Amino acid sequence: MKAFRIFFRSIRDAFKSVFRNFSLSMASILCATITLMVVAISLLIAGNVNSITKDLESELSIVVYLEESAKEDDISFLESKIKAIKGVEEVIYKSNEERELEMSEYSSSYATIFESYEDSPLLNTFIITVDDAEKLNSIAEEIKVMDNVESALYGENSVDTIVEAFSFIEKVTIIVVIALVFVTAFLITNTIKLAIYARRSEIEIMRLVGASNMAIKLPFVFEGFIIGILGSFIPIIIIIYGYIIIYEKMGGHIISNIVNLINPYNFVFDVGIIILLLGAIIGMFGSLNAVRKYLKI
Amino acid sequence: MKFIELKNVNKTYSTGVTALADMSVVIDKGEFVFVIGHTASGKSTFIKMLYREEKPTKGSVVVGGVNVAKLRNGRVYKLRRKIGVVFQDFKLLPKLTVYENVAFALECLGMKEKEIRPKVMKAIEIVGLKEKVRSFPHQLSGGEQQRVCIARAIVNEPKLLICDEPTGNLDPETSKEIMKVIDSINKDLGTTVIMATHDKDIVNRMKKRVLLIEHGVLTGDYLKGSYKSHESV
C-alpha cells in the first residue's frame, strides 16, 4: 500500500513540478521538441530512401534466353529447376510470340522487322525476379550452366554498381538516424541535468527527511517522462500533417512516376509512435541519470 | 541511557585533510549538547556523521543502537527517519507553502494523507506558526523560516534533533526565540538535541553540556552549566 501511495504521489508531484518549475520545464521541453523534430524528419527521409531503393531493386530481373531446340517438357522442367533456386521469387515464362507482340506494340519499326521473317527471330524466355538484388549475379551464374539455357542476363556491370550504390545509401541513412538519436539523447539528457541541478536542494531535503532512493527518483523519472512526451507532441503533429500534405501535393511520387513515396497511412503514425517512445524513454533515463548523481553518499 | 556513542573516530578526507582525530564521546538519551569550535574545527564533520552524511575513516559511530559507520547506502534512509535536521540556511522548498514544506517530510515516507494532517498541524503549532500555514517561505521572516525548518525536523517525532548552526543567520532576539522552541522540544518531547553553534551567548545562557572541538580533536567535554568559566571560543 505504501509503495502504491509513493507511486501515485510521485505522479502527482511530477505534474505539479512541471508547472511549478515552468521555465526549467519549458527549456527541457523545447530542447526535446527541436531535437526530436530533427530525428522525426530524418526517419521520414530514411524510410523513404530505403523504400525507394527497395522499389528500384525489385524492378531488377534476370532474363533467361532458352535454346531454340528446347521442347515444352524441357521448358517446364527448367522452370521447376529455376523455381527451386534459393532467392528466386517469381518465374514468368514469355514465349517468342508473346515477346514479338509486345515489341511490335511498343514500336511499329519492330513490327516491320518481324514481318520480314518467316519464323520469329526471338527466343523463348523466363523473366526471373529475386528477393534480394545482391543475389542477381549468383543466381544468373547458376542458371547459365543449366541445360537448354542460351544465356541469362541481368545488366551485369551497371546493375552491380546500382545495387552497391543502393546498399551504401541504405547503410548511410541508418547510420545518420542512429547518430541523430544519440545526439538527441545527449542533448535532452544534458538539459534535464541542468534543470535538476537547479533543484538539487530538493533532492538533498528528500534525502535528509529519510525518503528512500526510490521515493526520490520516482517523481523525477515521471517528470522526465512527462517532459519527453510533451516535447514529442509538436514534432509528431508536424510530421503527420506535413508528410500527408507533401505526399498529396506530389501525388505520391518523387522525381518521376516510378519513384514512389511511402503511403503516409501507418508509416507516418509508426514514425510518430517511435518519436513518442524516444521522447518518453530519453526523458525518463535522462532524469534518472541526473538524480542518481545526487543520491551518492 | 546511552543514545550516541563515538569510539576512536577518525575522519580523513581524500584531500588528506584530517577533520576528526581519535574522537570518543557518549551522549545519553534526552540530553541537550552544544558542539562548539572554530570554523573548520571538525564540528560539522562530527554532526554530519551522526546522520551519515559522512562516514568515518576509522572507528565506530553508534546512533540509537545502529552502527552508522557500517550502514549500507541503501539503508541510510531508515536512520534518517529517526533523526530531524535543522540547518543554518533553512533549506526550505521555495515553491511549497509552510504546510506543504512540513508535510513533504511525511509524504516522502509514504504516509497516509489523513495521518499526515494532524502530525503536520501539531508540529506547526509547537513552533508557533499556526497562522502562517498557507504562506510561502519568501513571505516569512528569517526566524519564521527557521521555525518551519524545525517543524519539518520534528514532524516525524524523531528521537534525535540535530541543529547545524540554526541561529547563524538570525538576529539575537530571533535567536532567543528559536532556542526557546528547541529547548522546549528537548524538555517536553524528550528529544535528544545536538546543536553546533558559534554563538557564545546562547551557550552561556542555556547552561547545557558543551563539547569543544579544536583542530579535529575533542579538547573539552563540559558538563551542564560548567562551560561559562572555560570560555575559549
Spell out the domain ranges in chain B: 2-82+158-230, 92-156
CATH of B2-82+158-230, one of 3.40.50.300, 1.10.8.60, 3.20.20.70, 3.30.590.20: 3.40.50.300
Residue B109 to residue A9, Cβ atoms within 8 A: no
Residue A6 to residue B78, Cβ atoms within 8 A: no
Instruction: Tell me: do A135 and A193 sit in the same domain.
Output: no
What is the predicted pLDDT for the residue at B32? 94
Q: What is the pLDDT of residues A16-41, one digit of tens each?
A: 888 888 888 999 999 999 999 999 99
- The answer to whether residues B110 and A5 touch, using CB atoms and an 8 Å cutoff, is yes
- Does A209 reach chain B within 8 Å, measured CB to CB? yes
> Residue B160 carries which DSSP code?
E
Residue B85 to residue A208, Cβ atoms within 8 A: yes
Question: What is A74-111 written as a DSSP string?
Answer: HHHHHHHHHHTSTTEEEEEEE-HHHHHHHHHHH-HHHH
Instruction: Tell me: do A283 and A179 sit in the same domain.
Output: yes
Cell of A51: 523504400
Better pLDDT: A79 or A54: A79
CATH number of the domain within which A65 lies? 3.30.70.3040
Biggest distance spanned by C-alpha atoms of chain B? 51
Cell of B160: 534525535
- The answer to whether residues B116 and B106 touch, using CB atoms and an 8 Å cutoff, is yes
Q: Dihedral angle at the C-alpha atoms of B170, B173, B174, B176, nearest 10 degrees?
A: 110
Residue B109 to residue A5, Cβ atoms within 8 A: no
Name the interface residues of B facing A (CB cutoff 8 Å): 51-53, 55, 73-74, 76-83, 85, 91, 93, 95, 104-105, 107-112, 152, 156
Cβ-Cβ contacts under 8 Å for A188 (sequence gap 6 or more): A28, A31, A32, A35, A228, A231, A279, A282, A283, A286
> Residue B44 carries which DSSP code?
H
Residue B110 to residue A208, Cβ atoms within 8 A: no
Boundaries of domain holding A267: 2-56+162-295
Total of domains in chain A: 2
From the list B162, B58, B29, B212, the residue with the least C-alpha distance to A209 is B162
Phi and psi of A212, rounded to 5°?
-70, 160
- pTM of the predicted structure, to 2 decimals: 0.75
- Output the CA–CA distances (angstroms, integers) from residue A208 to A231, A249, B48, B77, in the order listed: 33, 61, 11, 8
Instruction: Tell me: do A82 and A114 sit in the same domain.
Output: yes
Q: Which residues of B touch A21 (CB under 8 A)?
A: 95
Average pLDDT over residues A42-61: 86
User: Which of A104, A119, A153 is the last residue before a domain boundary?
Assistant: A153
Instruction: Tell me: do A205 and A147 sit in the same domain.
Output: no
Instruction: Tell me: do A194 and A266 sit in the same domain.
Output: yes
Phi and psi of B164, rounded to 5°?
-100, 95
A211: closest CA of chain B, how far (Å)? 5
User: Which of A153, A180, A196 is the last residue before a domain boundary?
Assistant: A153
Biggest distance spanned by C-alpha atoms of chain A? 102
What is the predicted pLDDT for the residue at B113? 86
Q: What is the pLDDT of residues A232-254, one digit of tens each?
A: 999 999 999 999 999 999 888 87
User: How many CB atoms are closer than 10 A to CB B31?
Assistant: 17
Q: What is the pLDDT of residues A98-154, one digit of tens each?
A: 888 888 888 888 888 888 888 888 999 999 998 888 888 899 999 999 999 999 988
- Does A202 reach chain B within 8 Å, measured CB to CB? yes
Residues 44-63 of A with CB under 8 A from B: none
- The answer to whether residues B211 and B27 touch, using CB atoms and an 8 Å cutoff, is no
What is the predicted pLDDT for the residue at B228? 67
- The answer to whether residues B176 and B146 touch, using CB atoms and an 8 Å cutoff, is no
Side-chain-facing half-sphere of A82: CA atoms under 13 Å: 34
Give just the sign of the alpha carbon dihedral A144, A145, A146, A147.
positive
Instruction: Tell me: do A45 and A169 sit in the same domain.
Output: yes
Q: Which residues of B touch A5 (CB under 8 A)?
A: 110-112
Strand bridging mode A256-260 / A253-254: antiparallel
Mean pLDDT of chain A: 89
Instruction: Tell me: do A82 and A215 sit in the same domain.
Output: no
Closest chain A residue by Cα to residue B72: A297
Q: What is the pLDDT of residues A82-111, one digit of tens each?
A: 999 998 989 999 998 888 888 888 888 888
- The answer to whether residues B81 and B109 touch, using CB atoms and an 8 Å cutoff, is yes
Instruction: Tell me: do A179 and A228 sit in the same domain.
Output: yes
Cβ-Cβ contacts under 8 Å for B118 (sequence gap 6 or more): none
Instruction: Tell me: do A40 and A166 sit in the same domain.
Output: yes
- Reading chain B (233 residues) residue by residue, the pLDDT tens digits are 889 999 999 999 989 889 999 999 999 999 999 999 988 889 899 999 999 989 999 999 999 999 998 888 888 888 998 899 998 888 898 888 999 999 988 988 888 889 999 999 999 998 889 999 999 999 999 889 999 999 999 998 899 999 998 888 888 888 888 898 899 999 988 999 999 998 888 898 888 999 999 999 999 898 877 776 455 44
Q: Which residues of B touch A2 (CB under 8 A)?
A: 110
Instruction: Tell me: do A84 and A6 sit in the same domain.
Output: no
Q: What is the pLDDT of residues A205-235, one digit of tens each?
A: 888 888 888 888 999 999 999 999 999 999 9
Residue A20 to residue B95, Cβ atoms within 8 A: yes
- The answer to whether residues A9 and B107 touch, using CB atoms and an 8 Å cutoff, is yes
Helix (H) or strand (E) holding A253: strand A253-254
pLDDT for residue A172 is more than 70: yes
Instruction: Tell me: do A16 and A112 sit in the same domain.
Output: no
Rounded to an integer, what distance in angstroms lies between the CA atom of residue A164 and that of residue A171?
11
Residue A205 to residue B77, Cβ atoms within 8 A: no
